Chains A and B, each alone.
Chain A
Amino acid sequence: MKAAIRVETIKLVRSPVGMIGSLALILGTLALLAGITAALAAGDPALTAKAGIAAALDWGGLLTAAAQIASAGGLLGFGVVLSWIFAREFSDGTITGLFALPITRARIALAKLTVYAAWSVAISVALALGTLVLGLTLGYGWPSPDVWAAFGRQVVLGVLTAVVATPVAWIASIARSLLAAVGGAIALVVIAQVGVLAGAGGWMPLAAPALWAISNGTGADPVQLSLTLALGVILGVLTCTSWARLQLNR
């Protein structure tokens, strides 16, 4: 298992997809936050009306905007990278080399999920640190205890957003297609947004982490958040099982 984790780490770290995905999630989010802040500071009335509580030019507004971006853009970014991690073996044809090894394919799939999880934690922490630097640069002052708590929720939101994306690993494995998996990532974003608009609220596992982070922890309770974790575990098990049973019969 250790060897499989090392191999998957090398592949992600050395790949353009891993690099571009990381930069898009961190620098893309920060650039968007800076742009939104600049537009709000300039008094753009349309944006101010749309931004709602994120329109405030303080830590609260900045972190709310960061959470909103993470819930949609972050989900898409995590989903695309996870799609590639699994689907590339089929599109590159390297799946044939992952048979007849002393490491079972279920463990290889688990190693992929483990490396993805570690990467998502690193991205979430880096994004929170970047947001902290941005807020300090904007002159919001040293964060109060409440703001630090919001930063904690921001990191948890990033990781749970990565968990929300786990269905694409299963889709990539079943469909053996990168496009199908990326399509699945887009579908997750749409389902989460529509679910919130339809009033599913915290009981929608795809949207619960974002609602929780945006509402200062009141929009979803621990039981509802645990449904998101359960979704990740179930899809992780399904993905590993599909790799264990995989046959190259098509």
Chain B
Amino acid sequence: MLDFDDVTVRFPGGAGVEHLTFRVAPGEIVALIGLNGAGKTTLMRLALGMLRPREGTVRVFDRPLTTLPSASWAAVGALIEVPLAYPELTVRENLHIACLLHGADPRRLVLDSLEAWRLQGVADRRFRRLSLGNRQRTGLAAALQHDPDLIVLDEPSNSLDPASVIMLRDQLTRRAEHGAAILVSSHHLDEVARIADRVLLMNAGRLIGELDSTGTDLEHAFFERIRQDDELRAATEGVPL
């Protein structure tokens, strides 16, 4: 569903990501874990065509992004950094336009979405007047209401209260059971990352392996892997620790 084949992109100044290779299969939830600045958002931007790789190939639905028909994006749902929601519009209006932009029919979907994300109470409130948690839930609803086959969410549990995190976790689990491929990022092993089938570790712009999510003391194991990678880079590339 989503494939990265030796993908590299660099920004002026040296930052970027390099040699990214991984796959997210239908029905699979993959978590991408890394510290702030590890390159998670850059990877997700590459997946969604916001950046073009300098080397390597990104494929969505088995087609390179360069040849992917625009209509195929109707089956993708994403939330990267900022929700697709405009401050002057109400929650209902924002969900309405998100449906239109995804090529979906808003008539039924918006009502279902308001209910699924428990947004009925703020449905007619302007987005700018929402709490951070409700903004995030609106963004998630806008990204997922058209029932996408590929879901890409950057730190989706940000600002969510525990009840909303459970709501998100249930939504993702259910969608994966129905065959959706899901990639979520986080800077720590939160509740969403813990439901993943696989946990990819990212450090300094590279994927450094997977974390066994069935083990105990995952946070310790995560930081230990990051420390080992930093030491390895210091020894082989002369990067200061």
Contact = CB atoms under 8 A, between A and B. Distances in A.
Contacts of A93: 81-82
A144 B87 CA distance: 48
Given A94-B82, A97-B83, A249 B100 contact: no
Interface string A124-165: 000000000000000000000000000000000000000000
Interface string A1-24: 001101100110011100000000
B84 interface: yes
Contacts of A248: 45, 50-51
A73 B63 CA distance: 50
A248 B101 CA distance: 20
Interface residues of B, number: 35
A250 to B, nearest CB: 8
Contacts of B18: none
9 contacts: A11-B88, A11-B89, A11-B97, A92-B86, A96-B82, A99-B49, A102-B103, A103-B101, A250-B11
List the 3 closest pairs (A to B, CB-CB), nearest first: A97-B84, A93-B82, A102-B74
B93 A7 contact: no
A223 interface: no
A100 interface: yes
Interface residues of A, number: 25
A22 to B, nearest CB: 14
Contact of B82 (A6, A92, A249, A250): A92
Contacts of B111: none
Contacts of B73: 100-102
B193 to A, nearest CB: 21
Nearest to B152: A100
B198 interface: no
A247 B51 CA distance: 5
A193 interface: no
B48 interface: yes
Nearest to B96: A10
Nearest to B44: A96
A96 B50 contact: yes
B130 to A, nearest CB: 14
B186 to A, nearest CB: 18
A92 B89 CA distance: 13
Contacts of A98: 84, 101
A49 B81 CA distance: 58
B88 A99 contact: no
A4 B72 CA distance: 17
Contacts of B93: 10, 14
B70 interface: yes
Given A11-B88, A102-B73, 10 more contacts: A7-B100, A11-B89, A96-B45, A97-B79, A97-B83, A98-B84, A99-B49, A100-B48, A101-B101, A104-B70
Contacts of B87: 92
Contacts of A97: 78-80, 82-85, 98, 101, 142
Contact of A3 (B52, B76, B82, B100): B100
Contacts of B80: 96-97
